[in-house]
Amino acid sequence: MNRQSSAAALATVSGVALAAAVVAAVWGLVAGGMTDPVLRDPGALVRWGLPLTEVVARLSATVTIGGLALATAVLAPAAAAPAVRAATVSAVVWAAAQAVCLPLTALTVVGSPTADDGTPALGVLLGTPLGPSLLWAAALALVVAVVLLVVSRPGRVPAALMVALLALVPVAAAGHAGHGPGHGAASALWLHLGAATIWAGGLLVLVALTYAPGAGPARGAASLTTVRRFSRVAGWCYVVVAASGLFAVLELSVSPSALLTTGWGALLLAKAALFAGLGVAGWAHRRRVLARAALTGGQPLARLALGEVVVLAAAVGLGVALGASAPPSAPADAGALPPLSVSTALSRWSPEPVLALAALAGLVTYVRWVVRLARRGDRWPAGRVVAWVAAMVLLLWVTSGGPAAYGHVLISAHMVQHMVLVTALPVLAALASPVTLALRALPATTDGPPGPRDRLLAVLGSRAARVLLHPVVATANVVVSMAVFYATPLFDRSLTNGVVHLLAVLHFSLAGYAFMTILIGTDPVPHRPPYPLRLLMLAPAMVLHTGLGLVLVTSSQVVLAATVLAESRPAWLTDPVTDQQAAGALVWALGEVPALGIALLIAARWAAADERDQRRAARRAVAEPRAVSPSSPSSRSPARSTAGPRRTGGSSARS
């Protein structure tokens, strides 16, 4: 397939998708009603230009992410070049459209090029929480375009895909779900956007390659492997889009009646109807059209897929209209926390969608790998399965249960969450040996792009892994990062910013896992220190936990995020200093007690290893005299070595 034909096909399909998205967005803005200007009406040009520019930005982001996802996980390397070229062109359009959204949003907020005090409208926007989010979105989109245009290394496509998905984080923070009462709504919207763009963009690029003249990767019976591979990706995306969208609506605490009586509710129901229709089309795609394409060629597949592209583009347009429309107001007491007790700590839930999805996906994936080993006759220790299940259940509870619900108002609840993520959870994960299981269960890829096992091996063999898994670096990563987190404004930011909170949870969980894997795990690491050094590695963490616990217990005033916690303090918390002292005791208990248990485990393994070495040495000592016998060629004297075979055998028998 030449570049001109693929570019023309992509332009045609993208034009159809853009038209569908614009029509849906215009209908949604009229039906749902646009958000009122903050200060004054900026005029019809800005009022309509902003959402239409957002449609262009959203659709070009969809093509960029979809094309990169196809090139990374679906298409064979030889067939991925057209998808990468499509992603590069759309990334440039995405960066330009996202940049144009900044001044248009500023004019929408202020209503004129300057505010009443002479401040430029863009300066006013950057002084609000919305401004930095839009600036980050434009900057990250520009990074994606630069990486695809300038960098030529083989890993540029996966790197650009990760940056592109990160660029959706500020978009989600600025979206309508960001108005929810907690951080969960914004992260749910990010999952929603990420899965939808991979699905819709991948399908759009695949359809463009199908309609291009020549033997494209999605044409006829030869394309079935590629299409089936993408169909599995689309199926997972469908599940994530449905779950995250439902969670985002629930997080907004919208009453069912508001869905039927407001324009925002009408838009949401219309988008849900389109989504349900896409599910039916996807089912028909998998069950009927693929089988027909194997016999008759790819045109029935292409026709159905083009219909899906149009519906998906309309859903994108409705999503932009939803973002420009104000959702119904939630009840005044939405999200109010009752006093903390054992029952509320166990029954109260404040789900974090990204981490909840990670826990559920980790549980399902691990069990599937164990089942795969069992089917081919291999065994996996049951104790490791129990450890992993406990780790995932603990991750779900500590990030979406009571500790998460109360962690942003009580220091004690936050410390329970933090210490479990740093100590208990990594111990269970290290004992479960998930990397070893993955290397045994994942198949090697023989065709198509590198599979999960290939990428895992590449990560384990990378220079970054060798550095991060070095004993000194892993120890410093746990100790220094924890000290910096609480000694700087990062802790304050984690209580008010969902992205910082999520990054902190991921960092401490992964840093704790790397540290514990070196100490007690069996997963492969570049450097496995001797047992005495492993015991010494525990000392800095124990000193830090003791010091932090003493500071919190002995202080007579709130020393951690005092201003932030004072603003969100519930009415039933009358003594925050006592809560801080309880947090200090929890830091000591949840830090020192597990460390003592780990030290005992290391000592027991050390003693067992010494015993094995002694038994091995004893066996060698017994075997050496037998090996060095008079009949041995090495033990014969020169004179005896000239004797005949019969005499040598007799001498050996006498000895």
Alpha helix (H) ranges present in 348-381? 353-375
Spell out the domains of the chain, with CATH numbers in brackets.
3-113+127-324 (1.20.1630), 346-615 (no CATH)
Least confident residue range of 87-101, 105-119, 449-463, 523-537: 105-119
pLDDT in the model for residue 634: 47
Angle at CA of residue 198, ends 446 and 27, nearest 5°: 155
Burial grade of 73 (CB within 10 A; 0-12, 13-18, 19 or more): buried
pLDDT in the model for residue 213: 54
* Unique residue bearing structure tokens 């199908």: 210
pLDDT in the model for residue 640: 43
Q: Which residues pair with 114 in a beta bridge?
A: 120
Count the neighbouring beta carbons within 10 Å of the beta carbon of residue 30: 11
pLDDT in the model for residue 584: 92
Q: How many Å apart are CA 610 and CA 604, to the nearest integer?
A: 10
* pLDDT above 90 for 474: yes
* pLDDT tens sequence across 549-568: 999 999 888 888 888 888 88
Q: Is 9 left (phi over 0), alpha (psi -120 to 50) or beta?
A: alpha
Q: How confident is the model at residue 176 (pLDDT cuts 50, 70, 90)?
A: very low
Measured between alpha carbons, how far is residue 530 from residues 303, 368, 599, 602 in Å? 63, 34, 13, 10
422 near 508, Cβ under 8 Å?
yes
pLDDT in the model for residue 473: 94
> What is the amino acid identity at position 398?
V
Burial grade of 2 (CB within 10 A; 0-12, 13-18, 19 or more): exposed
3-state SS record for 115-133? CCCCCEHHHHHHCCCHHHH
Q: Is 43 left (phi over 0), alpha (psi -120 to 50) or beta?
A: left
Tokens of 2: 């030449």
- Highest mean predicted confidence (pLDDT) among 41-55, 240-254, 351-365: 351-365
Least confident residue range of 166-175, 180-189, 290-299, 504-513: 290-299
* pLDDT above 80 for 18: no
Tokens of 83: 């998808």
pLDDT in the model for residue 138: 93
Q: Could you tell me the maximum CA-CA distance found in the chain, to the nearest angstrom?
A: 117
Please, what is the average pLDDT of the chain? 81
Q: How many Å apart are CA 519 and CA 1, to the nearest integer?
A: 53
Least confident residue range of 214-223, 226-235, 367-376: 214-223
Is the alpha carbon torsion for 174, 178, 183, 186 positive or negative?
negative
Helix axes 224-251, 44-73, angle to 10 degrees: 130
